[in-house]
């Protein structure tokens, strides 16, 4: 199978897990900076506590799902790509950087080995 087909199969499998369902709902709203556990729970038709328990049963927290998704997107943006100056605000929102401290904390979690010289 092609790499794209493998990626689609993996995506389908992930959508069956609570984590995958949460990620699928987070991706379209991540750039708004307003992604919250409460918002995702409502979209799933669950209470916040039920979402918490279901994610915990999969060995993950909402914050960890959100953080790892931001990390993946940051790597996607930075992996050999140049981000135009006029899009740095969007990049900050994708990282969940509502303030300077959040940006520093998000970027600190990305190890320098992930960056490739341009």
Residue 82 sits in a domain whose CATH number is 1.10.10
Residue 21 near residue 44 (C-beta atoms within 8 A): yes
Residue 75 near residue 110 (C-beta atoms within 8 A): yes
pLDDT in tens, 33-52: 888 999 999 999 999 999 99
Q: How high is the pLDDT of residue 22?
A: 94
Q: Which domain holds residue 79?
A: 3-114
State how many domains the chain has.
1
Cα separations in angstroms, 63 against 4, 7, 16, 56, 94: 28, 24, 20, 11, 14
User: With a threshold of 0.85, does the pTM exceed it?
Assistant: no
pLDDT in tens, 52-71: 999 999 999 999 999 998 88
Q: Six-digit token pair at 33? A: 């900076």
Least reliable range by pLDDT among 33-37, 56-60, 85-89, 105-109 = 85-89
User: How confident is residue 95, by pLDDT bands cut at 50, 70 and 90?
Assistant: low
Q: Which residues neighbour 14 within 8 Å (Cβ) at sequence distance 6 or greater?
A: 20, 23, 24
Cα separations in angstroms, 51 against 26, 65, 72, 114: 14, 12, 22, 31
CA distance 108 to 70: 13
């Amino acid at each position: 199978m092609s790499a794209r087909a493998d990626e689609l199969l993996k995506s389908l499998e992930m959508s069956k897990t609570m984590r995958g369902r949460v990620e699928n709902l987070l991706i379209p709203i991540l750039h708004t900076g307003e992604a919250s556990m409460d918002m995702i729970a409502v979209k799933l038709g669950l209470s916040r506590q039920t979402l918490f328990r279901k994610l915990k049963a999969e060995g993950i927290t909402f914050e960890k799902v959100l953080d790892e998704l931001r990390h993946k997107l940051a790597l996607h943006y930075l992996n050999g790509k140049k981000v135009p100056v006029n899009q740095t605000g969007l990049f900050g929102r994708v990282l969940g950087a509502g303030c300077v401290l959040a940006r520093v904390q998000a970027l600190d979690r990305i190890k320098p080995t992930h960056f490739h010289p341009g």
